[in-house]
Structure 1
Amino acid sequence: MSDKLSILEVSVEVISEIFEHLGSAEDRLEVVAAHPKFAEGFARFAATAHRTLKCGQLPLSYCSKVLQLAGDSVKSLALQNPANVVALMKLASDHCPNLEEISIPVRTEYWAVIQPFLLSMQKLKRIDLRNDFRPLEVIGALLEFPQLEFLLLVGFRNDNLSRIDELLGLTSLHVINNEPIDVYLFFAPLKNLTKLEVKVAYVNCPAQIDGDEYWPKIKELILTFGIFRSEMPYLPSLWHLSISHVMPDRKISQLFASSVSQYAHTLGSMGVVYETQTASIADARIISELKSLRVLCMPYVNNAFVGALKSDSLERLFIRDSWNLTNSGILRLLRGCKNLRLIDFGGCKRITKHLVQPALKILRKNGVLPGNPVEMRVNAEFGDHISHMDLTLMVISRCTADEKPDWTGYNLPNTSEDN
């Protein structure tokens, strides 16, 4: 009589661990098909491994099996291939009662089919819908989700977003569009927003009326293309502002002409890229008035701009690809911004290692200590052979042309509502 233990006699928990060591989805499916007990083991494995299920990275057959056997554990579901959406949405509707996040490509051809499946998922807090810019009305369906807080809409026409201002529970809205959308006309009623991100934004906000603040809770405002026909409205909770392309010829000194004194003690992080202009001394003076500003990202600047910056709050500065910037500009910057601890000037080819020695003298005068040195991110043109100098007050790191600066949303403040 054999004393060997059959694999079918081991616990489901042990069997579930087998799937952790199977590298491919196909291998896992073969094992699942071998015996019902293996299916139980897979269900236990998938319940932990696929709480977030990204179907674009896995075969349809594998995703279907996960949804069938472990759907009640799936919290987040991302679909990618429009050809598979109907089948997977049906499975998710049947087997995923606890789904909180979903991302799906939507098309006019099958929206009517999947809409009932989507509406059955009443615990959804985040919905991402990716359209192809053809007419499609989805806002009516989105109004049926009482817990919806986070919404991403890609490829929708403005006339299909006319009711978006009825989604009053939204705290985060991201719109990727290709025609300018009037942020005041479409989004002003959304008073609970803490984050608004729009690809092509038209900003023409009327003069504010006392007691009727725009987006009183908003912390982050991110515009890829900002078409400004008015000043920036004052947003009392705004901490992070990013405008990748300012259009038309508006400047910071114009955007904050009457609100700079209000933003002076609230705005902590800002990134602005001019479309066709150069940052001026007037811009630097406005920025210097922002007494809470800790992070600034402004590429393509010159010596005059950085030399005019005077800030005791600024800690991190990203001024990449500023081709006219030289060593003298950086030295003037260090004198005017004594608490800077990071300067990223990758792509500034006229800044060289000869900056180091006079910069160290300024840092000593500024009271910089070895335990909290200034980091300078440089590129190849900066040069080498500076190790003999006393660099305890300065850290020099190399950056590459394709490396993105890590400035976005730096140190967003927490509030009691975040906990």
Structure 2
Amino acid sequence: MQKLGLACPLGFLASKPQRNKTNIFNLNYDCIEVIFSYLTALEDKLNLARAHPQFRQVLTREAPRRYAKINYRMLRCISDWDYLLKLCGDCVVECELRHGRWDDNITQPFLTLLNAHCKNLRHLHLIFAHSDIKPPAESGDLNILQMLQRKNLHSVSLIDAKAAEVLQLRNFAELEALHIDGFDVDLTDANFIELFQLLPQLRRLSLRFASRRQLPPLAAYCSRLEHLSLENFEGTLDDVGDFPQLKSLRLLWRLHIRLNSQLFRSLAQRYADRLEQLQLTEVKPEHVEHIMSLQGLKALACHMWPSETLMHLRKLQQLECLALQCSEPTASMMQLLDIIGYCSKLQHLKLSKHWQEQELERFLCAVQEELRRQAANGRRETFMLTLELPASKAAQQQLKQNLDSQLLRLDWLGVACPLCMPDRHTKQSIPGLIWF
């Protein structure tokens, strides 16, 4: 090979000893961070962090971004949890924990670690998977909230909790947000009243009833409540009560329930001067006049709005965010132009799939013209239109290319504005669209 001139030009180095030996621990921090980024399993990251302080430094540095929220299923071994929480437990502000199967032996030691290392924990989600199998007599019935020593929690979410577990909330006097999904039949209205008397700081309350049940009379005990969400409540409800600081209200009921019209009348009477956000399952034509009385509304979401009363929405001239699905199978988009024209503060319009698709291109052109007219008068910011209408990626790109992005932004991803941003307890009610 040498005679043919094909020998390796660097072959002479093979016979010489190499003075500079480089191993992985001689790499700078940026290189180590890149290596670390290739690991997807948290267990692998922990093992690498145990191997050398440089890798441990990378894990510690990314912890505030990656592990502010933890789920106990992220790791299967309690020793791994011990190592991770000792390393970055101060970064944890939110935790999700599932409990209730008696063969699950991680709950109690996990809570011990949570108490010891997560001093900044503020939000807790507890999902109870109740088992028909009774626990051994010597083990007792583990009450998670009773064990938890972090009494300064800001928010708690309880899913399918028993009455005894819900009543333990009375020990968390600093609670500001509470979500209860599913109600034990043993939880009485008297229990509710007793509980909320001991939660004076509560500002956000979300109740999702598993069966038809009326709202307990809570208004007298939740004077600071700013947001109330009720789902699957009894259809005969005629009044949510008078909450003096209430600004946001979600009322979602099953469609087969005919809601008491007195509820809409009482909303108009009590909250006309202060309600800013409202979400409803359905509005009938006879209810529209009561909704129009809420002149201070900044955000309105309705899953079934009567198409024949769309023009009434232009009376809500403080609207900044509007999410609509009409009760008819298809509704004309062109009816929305008047709303955009009259409601000059409207910045975000969200439409579900039940609109006339063939009108989309014409509607977008007309909206742009209206926005140009308003911009010329100096009263228009960038307008966001969020759609759930089916369209291919190519079609989406084609539509976006024809738009003036300074005036109109088009989105199919369900982007939320500040007014419709869901809280940590809110589920999406319509796939693809985010409703507040």
Structure-1-length-normalised TM-score: 0.68
Q: CA deviation at 1:269?
A: 1.4
**1:8 & 1:360 partners in 2: Cα distance?**
57
Q: Residues 320-331 of structure 1: matches in 2 within 5 Å?
A: 320=325, 322=327, 323-327=329-333, 329-331=335-337
The answer (yes or no) to whether the contact 1:321–1:347 under 8 Å persists in 2 is: no
Aligned residues of 1:380 and 1:398 also touching (Cα < 8 A): no
Residue of structure 1 in register with 2:174 after alignment: 169
Is this contact kept in 2: 1:139–1:161, CA < 8 A? Answer: no
* Alpha-carbon separation, structure 1, partners of 2:22 and 2:112: 46
Distance 1:336 1:9 in 2: 65
Which of 339, 348, 356 aligns to 1:350? It is 356
Counterpart-to-counterpart distance in 1, 2:145 and 2:403: 65
Does the 8 Å contact 1:182/1:203 carry over to 2? no
**What 5-or-longer segments of structure 1 have no aligned partner?**
77-98, 413-419
Deviation at 1:132, TM superposition (A): 0.8
Q: 2:89 aligns with which of 71, 74, 87?
A: 74
1:319 is paired with a residue whose SS is strand
Residue aligning to 2:10: none
Q: Equivalent pairs: percent with the same residue?
A: 16
Alpha-carbon distance change, 74 to 326 in structure 1, aligned in 2, over 3 angstroms:
same
Q: Structure 1 residues 177 and 372 mapped into 2: Cα distance closer, same or farther (>3 Å)? A: same
Aligned to 1:129: 126
- CA displacement 1:303-326 (0-9 Å, x = unmatched): 333222311211221113543532
Give the CA deviation at 1:44. Answer: 2.2
SS in 1 for 2:233: strand
Equivalent in the alignment of 1:217: 224
Judged with a 3 Å threshold, the aligned counterparts in structure 2 of structure 1 residues 146 and 300 are, in CA distance, closer, same or farther, namely closer
Distance 1:74 1:394 in 2: 45
Tell me the residue number matched to 1:107.
Answer: 100
Contact between 1:195 and 1:220, CA under 8 Å: does it hold in 2? yes
Among 420, 424, 436, the residue aligned to 1:410: 420
Aligned to 1:4: 20
> What SS does the corresponding residue of 2:305 show, helix, strand or coil?
coil
Cα separation, partners in 2 of 1:350 and 1:44, compared to 1, 3 Å: closer
Q: Given the alignment, which residue of 193, 203, 209 partners 1:194?
A: 203
For 2:232 and 2:173, how far apart are their aligned partners in 1?
25
| 1:391–1:17 CA distance, 2 compared to 1 (3 A) | closer
Task: Please list, as runs of the form range in 1=range in 2, the aligned pairs for 1:303-382 lying within 5 A after superposition.
Answer: 303-309=307-313, 310-320=315-325, 322=327, 323-327=329-333, 329-331=335-337, 333-334=339-340, 337-350=343-356, 352=359, 353=361, 355=363, 364=373, 369=378, 371-372=380-381, 374-378=383-387, 379=389
Compared with structure 1, are the counterparts of its residues 132 and 259 closer, same or farther at alpha carbon in structure 2 (3 Å cutoff)?
same
Q: Alpha-carbon deviations, 1:66-98, whole Å to 9, x = none? A: 74276242236xxxxxxxxxxxxxxxxxxxxxx
TM value normalised by structure 2: 0.66
From the superposition, tell whether residues 346 and 258 of structure 1 become closer, same or farther in structure 2 (CA, over 3 Å).
Answer: closer
User: Partners in 1 of 2:46 and 2:165 — Cα distance?
Assistant: 42
- AA aligned to 2:129 is D
Separation in structure 2 between the aligned mates of residue 235 and residue 18 of structure 1, nearest angstrom:
53
Deviations 1:32-71, CA, capped at 9 Å, x for gaps: 67xxxx333333222223351746675646x844742762
Cα distance between partner residues in 1 of 2:31 and 2:284: 66
Tell me, yes or no, if the aligned pair for 1:281 and 1:308 is still in contact at 8 Å. Answer: no
How far does residue 297 in structure 1 lie from its aligned partner after superposition?
A: 0.7
Q: How do residues 23-38 of structure 1 correspond to structure 2 at under 5 angstroms?
A: 23-25=39-41, 38=51
Deviation of 1:347 after TM superposition, in Å, equals: 1.7
- Counterpart in 2 of 1:146? 151
Match of 1:397 in 2: 410
Counterpart code for 1:75? D
Q: Structure 1 104/239 Cα, relative in aligned 2: closer, same or farther at 3 Å?
A: same
Instruction: Kindly provide the CA deviation profile for residues 166-210 of structure 1, in whole angstroms up to 9, marking residues without a partner as x.
Output: 5322112122326687788525322211222232274434496xx
**Inter-partner Cα distance in structure 2 for 1:355 and 1:295:** 22
Root-mean-square deviation over aligned CA pairs: 4.6
Shift of 1:261: 4.2
How far is the alpha carbon of 1:139 from its aligned partner? 6.4
Q: Which amino acid aligns with 1:224?
A: E
Q: What code does the residue aligned with 1:204 have?
A: L
Distance apart, 1:102 and its partner CA: 3.4
- One-letter code aligned to 2:408: V
- Matched pairs, number: 372
Within the candidate set 212, 215, 234, 1:204 is matched to 215
Q: Which residue of 1 aligns with 2:54?
A: 41
Residues 105-152 of structure 1: per-residue CA shift (max 9 Å, x gap): 212526898447625616343333221134866266157433222212
CA–CA separation in structure 2 for the residues paired with 1:20 and 1:70? 19
Given residue 215 of structure 2, which amino acid in structure 1 is its aligned partner? N
Using the alignment, how far apart are the partners of 2:165 and 2:83 within structure 1? 34
Secondary structure of 2:39's counterpart equals: coil
Distance in 2, matches of 1:175 and 1:2, equals 67
| Higher CA-based Rg | 2
Distance (Å, rounded) in 1 between the aligned partners of 2:385 and 2:409: 5
Aligned to 1:287: 291
Specify the alignment match of 2:135 in structure 1: none
* Alignment partner, residue 246 of structure 2: 238
* Separation (CA, whole Å) in 1 of partners of 2:238 and 2:130: 28
